[in-house]
Structure 1
Amino acid sequence: METTICPWCQTEIVWDEEIGPEEYCPYCNNELKGYRTLNIGIDEIEDEENEYDEDEDQKVFWEHEESGHLDAIRRVETFAKAGGDLLAYDSGVERVLDGQEEVPECPHCREYMLFAGSQSLPDSFVPAVPAGLTRPLVQKAAKLDIYICSACFHVSHFLTEDERMHLIRTVTEEE
């Protein structure tokens, strides 16, 4: 067995000689062979600064970005400019997160999500019975937990704990 040190997180990675070396760090998921250095000269920075109008610098920066996450950041910044207290918002978010049993990460920005409530599947939902199983993966009256990202305000739905257990039992049942 040989060991490798991840250049990103400085974690020792032990790999089996039969399998070969890891391509990605199992801890930080960064590429192990692709450790690169980026060199930026002062002339390049000055050229980039000249592209923007000094008065419109912030506006031009936002116009180049087309991400929904940045729109959410602008909403939070607008809240702060309107007299809102971002520190109080962050403290409130932390207080809510501390009371949650589960704290999923947002799939868009990786911030923690706040539990907003539960919802039943609509009456129009028709559960399917997959090939090889005798009952559907999800019951017709299944419930979903709803989470909202505190940074980008993305909404995600997850099966409740009871529904997850039902799914696990259904998949593991033997015919």
Structure 2
Amino acid sequence: MSTNEEVVCPWCQTEIVWDPEIGPEDECPHCFNELNDYRSIKLTVKQTGQPLRFQENEQTEPDEDLSLAWDDSDEPLDSYGEAIQRISDEQEEAPECSGCHEFLLLAGKEVISQGSFTPHIPKTLGNAFLTAPVTLHVYVCPSCFKVEKVLSDTDRLLMVERIKDK
């Protein structure tokens, strides 16, 4: 990277200024997004008065494997990425990771039993709005491997009903 090249984080849109002695940053110091080619695009801005230059399309080699899956950027997906895409397509619900905003994969269910869950009783309600057993959907991020848990549909409805009835 040259010293006159500007780097802008694609997630938080913050300009990254780095020390020439240390070198370029590997991740954004503001949101900790990776700044290498993964999840990043590079744009060349045409200055006013400059003619547009187009790159010639490269011819594909006849021995290339044309059965590879392709994403929207015309780059072949690796086998991990292909499998993640297939798993995600099977899911009814795919929430976003709160850390890196990738779609989460449903890893399974966790049931919290009576002995391991102590409900909080708000003074406003007089009763607990969530009681054991509780079923949680466990999601894992395929990029940053963060684990997130969400109440099952049945427990969501029960919680809403318990809060509405008071």
TM-score normalized by the length of structure 1: 0.54
Say if 2:84 is the partner of 1:114: no
Partner of 2:132: 140
1:51 CA displacement: 2.1
C-alpha distance in structure 2 between counterparts of 1:92 and 1:118, whole Å: 21
Gaps spanning 5+ residues in structure 1: where?
1-41, 75-84
Q: Which residue identity does 1:130 align to in structure 2?
A: P
> Matches of 2:78 and 2:27 in 1, distance apart?
27
Aligned partner of 1:92 in structure 2 is 83
TM-score by length of 2: 0.56
Q: 1:94 to 1:137 in 2, by over 3 A?
A: same
Distance 2:160 2:102 in 1: 28
Higher relative contact order (CA closer than 8 Å, sequence separation 6+)? 1
- Identical-pair percentage: 27
Is the Cα contact below 8 Å between 1:69 and 1:152 reproduced in 2? no
Alignment map for 1:1-175 (pairs within 5 Å): 44-45=4-5, 50-52=20-22, 61-62=25-26, 87-121=78-112, 123-174=115-166
Given that residues 120 and 128 in structure 2 are in contact (C-alpha distance below 8 angstroms), is that contact kept between their aligned partners in structure 1? yes
| Deviation per residue, 1:49-99 (Å, 9 max, x gap) | 8424xxxx6xx74499698765xxx9xxxxxxxxxx961111111111111
CA distance in structure 1 between the partners assigned to 2:33 and 2:107 by the alignment: 20
